Amino acid sequence: MHLILFFVFAGFCLAGAINLLLQSHPINSALSLIVVMTSLAVLYLLLGAEFLAVAQVIVYAGAIMVLFTFVVMLLNAGREERTLGSRAALTVGFPAVVAILAVIATMILHAQKLGVANLSESLTNVKGQTNLELLGTVLFTKLLLPFEVTSVLILIAILGAVALARQGDGDEERTDEQ
């Protein structure tokens, strides 16, 4: 069962990621990214991270991707123009990406100590607590300060987004100089 679920949702994941690269319309790319994120939520569930699976659906597939599709529609983004891109990306970039992927893949496949994942023996059952209890205990005792700092970060991000997206006072003069 675990194997079937893994293959189905890993396939969805890869298909969505490749489709993101191949589509020329941004809204299609955004929808395939939603497919990737939702399939990743199922994979998190298979790895015994229930809270993260739910957070992935709500935060990533819900909030962030809604923001993306909203901006795509607000800016009326049409088809992207295909250009050749820079020559450095073609000659150096792609061989480098393939080489890095090959190195990582061989390292992973040769690692001896990696275990297996199955549905019965997850993080939940080992310590006798549910995943959410475990996570909440650590998050609100040991890591309380980073948690609170993150809330300040999000507040600053909200203010920054509002300040950036607001119709600026001097924007028109500055663009005329171009």
Partner 1 sequence: MNSLLAQLPQEVPLSWYLLLSAILFSLGVVGFHIKRNLITVFMSIELMLNGVNLSFVTFAQQWHAVKGQIFVFFVMMVAAAEAAVGLAIIIAVFRARATLAVDRIDLMKL
Q: Does 109 bind partner 1 (CB under 8 A)?
A: yes
Q: Does 164 bind partner 1 (CB under 8 A)?
A: yes
Shortest distance (Å) from residue 89 CB to partner 1 = 5
Number of chain positions touching partner 1 (CB under 8 A): 91
The answer to whether 132 and 51 have CB atoms below 8 angstroms apart is yes
Which token pair is 56?
A: 């992935």
Shortest distance (Å) from residue 78 CB to partner 1 = 9
Distance between CA 153 and CA 44 in Å, rounded?
A: 26
Residues in 49-88 at the binding interface with partner 1, rule: CB under 8 A: 49, 51-52, 55-56, 59-60, 63-64, 67-68, 71-72, 74-75, 77, 80-83, 85
Distance between CA 44 and CA 115 in Å, rounded?
A: 16
Distance between CA 104 and CA 120 in Å, rounded?
A: 29
Distance between CA 174 and CA 88 in Å, rounded?
A: 32
Q: Does 139 bind partner 1 (CB under 8 A)?
A: yes
Shortest distance (Å) from residue 51 CB to partner 1 = 7
Residues in 140-159 at the binding interface with partner 1, rule: CB under 8 A: 143, 146, 150, 153-154, 156-158
Distance between CA 117 and CA 3 in Å, rounded?
A: 10
Q: Which of 35, 54, 57, 122 binds partner 1 (CB under 8 A)?
A: 122
Q: For residue 119, give the DSSP letter.
A: S
Shortest distance (Å) from residue 12 CB to partner 1 = 11
Q: Does 35 bind partner 1 (CB under 8 A)?
A: no
Q: Which of 89, 91, 95, 148 binds partner 1 (CB under 8 A)?
A: 89
What type of residue sits at position 115? G
Q: Which of 144, 127, 147 is CA-nearest to residue 48?
A: 127
